[in-house]
Amino acid sequence: MNVTHHGMGDGASADSRAGAPAGTEIRTYHGQPVIKEPIWTWEIPCYFFTGGLAGASAGLAYMSSLRGNDVLARRAWATALASVAVSPALLTSDLGRPRRVMNMLRMFKVTSPMSVGSWLLSASGASTAIAAAHAWTGSFAGAARVARPAAALLGLPLSTYTAALVTNTAVPVWHGSRRLLPFVFASGAALSAGAAAVAVTPVRHARAARRLALVSAALELGCKELMERRLGDLGEPYKHAASFKFGRLGQALIAGGAGVLYGRGGRSRAAAAVAGAMLCAGALSARWSVFEAGFQSAADPKYVVGPQRDAIRRGERRGASRTEPHISAPQPAVGSPATAPAVVDEQREAAARPATPR
């Protein structure tokens, strides 16, 4: 997964004042945002969803087989296999070249979420493929005895490592939610796994999946709301623009889908399918809300500078924090705001000086 960043110009809002001295605005740094936005495209939020769906579905399939519910187990294994097969395709599309995906496997670095995630996806894909093949055809019986628990065990970190990946960046709203975002992604993964299983499994065999979907729906809504509240002012991107729209859409779909599933999902196969589709769409919208919030917070310097200055004032971080501005207003067109007046004076003197004949 490519985590390189690129600039987007002055995308800050006019009221960007958090943490600034009185009378100044934190709008840009030398005419540019303080950090650069991610270059990730639409494939990445979809990968957040499919990776979580694959990991949680493997766990659901394994637990269902242990309880003797082979009908639900087979469908959950199929869902896990389809999702884990789509995930590398999404990564390849984002990276642009298939060789770049293989380059991630050239080494294993435990301190790198990207490296760990690449190996997790590969190992989970292999074990899930064997488990699914055995569930549907009965082949690979010996290998399946190891592959089934391995796929279920690998599914847990597969569902949440993407949260560790994004919170390990400098994007303020992602890094600020590093303690709660893994729980948001885990509950969303369980929600999507239960919802997908409900949609494709006969009603009489889907009881466990319904319970998982309903409990996870409540956890997803609660964890995401708690995360946004804990972020404080840093969570403002979740209340504006695309992140807000995707977040509210996700809440509506999850709440509505849970209502349909609870009311009629245990009696009607059609209602269960509709509820499952709504819940999956809601989980995807929630991941997209997190994705968009990162772009919005990276574009506005107040989410970077403000928290840093506050930490310096509280004594939590070393550094200097100005109490009075050195200039009345930054002038990015003539260079650094700290030296802008001197540059302007020098330009004026040069313009007024008569030309020296050659």
Q: Residue 19: is its pLDDT beyond 80? A: no
Go through the chain and tell me how many residues it has: 358
The CATH number of residue 295's host domain is: 1.20.1630.10
- pLDDT at position 14 is 33
- pLDDT at position 9 is 33
Question: For tokens 């389809």, what's the residue?
Answer: 82
Give one DSSP letter per residue of 143-170, joined into a string: HHHHHHHHHHHHHHHHHHHHHHHHHTSS
Cα 151 from Cα 174, distance rounded (Å): 28
Scanning 69-180, the segments in alpha helix (DSSP H) are 70-95, 98-103, 113-137, 141-167, 172-175
Pair of tokens at residue 154: 């690998």
Domain count, the chain: 1
Average pLDDT, the chain: 84
Nearest alpha-carbon partner for 93 in 43, 40, 139: 43
What pTM, to 2 d.p., does this model score?
0.79
Q: Residue 21: is its pLDDT beyond 70? A: no
* CA distances for 25 relative to 16, 294, 306, angstroms: 6, 21, 11
141-167 vs 43-66: helix crossing angle, rounded to 10: 140
- Confirm if 144 and 127 have CB atoms less than 8 A apart: no
Cα 10 from Cα 327, distance rounded (Å): 20
Cα 267 from Cα 263, distance rounded (Å): 9
- Confirm if 1 and 101 have CB atoms less than 8 A apart: no
Cα 338 from Cα 224, distance rounded (Å): 40
pLDDT mean over 52-79: 96
pLDDT mean over 167-172: 90
Q: Is residue 344 part of a domain?
A: no
pLDDT mean over 236-261: 96
Q: Is residue 338 part of a domain?
A: no
More reliable by pLDDT, 341 or 5: 341
State which amino acid sits at residue 243: S
Q: Domain range holding 253?
A: 37-305
Cα 146 from Cα 129, distance rounded (Å): 12
- pLDDT at position 325 is 52
Least reliable range by pLDDT among 94-103, 115-124, 165-174: 94-103
Q: Is residue 3 part of a domain?
A: no
- pLDDT at position 329 is 60
Q: Is residue 270 part of a domain?
A: yes
Least reliable range by pLDDT among 246-255, 269-278, 316-325: 316-325
Residue 157: count other Cβ atoms within 10 Å of its Cβ.
Answer: 15
Cα 85 from Cα 105, distance rounded (Å): 17
Q: Is residue 135 part of a domain?
A: yes
Q: Is residue 265 part of a domain?
A: yes
Cα 187 from Cα 210, distance rounded (Å): 14
Cα 42 from Cα 61, distance rounded (Å): 29
pLDDT bucket at 327, cuts 50 / 70 / 90: low
User: 41-65, pLDDT tens digit by residue?
Assistant: 999 999 999 999 999 999 999 999 9
Cα 308 from Cα 173, distance rounded (Å): 13
Cα 175 from Cα 173, distance rounded (Å): 6
Q: Residue 336: is its pLDDT beyond 70? A: no
Q: Is residue 283 part of a domain?
A: yes
Q: Is residue 323 part of a domain?
A: no
Q: Give residues with Cβ within 8 angstroms of 164, minimum separation 6.
A: 113, 178, 182
Cα 308 from Cα 314, distance rounded (Å): 10
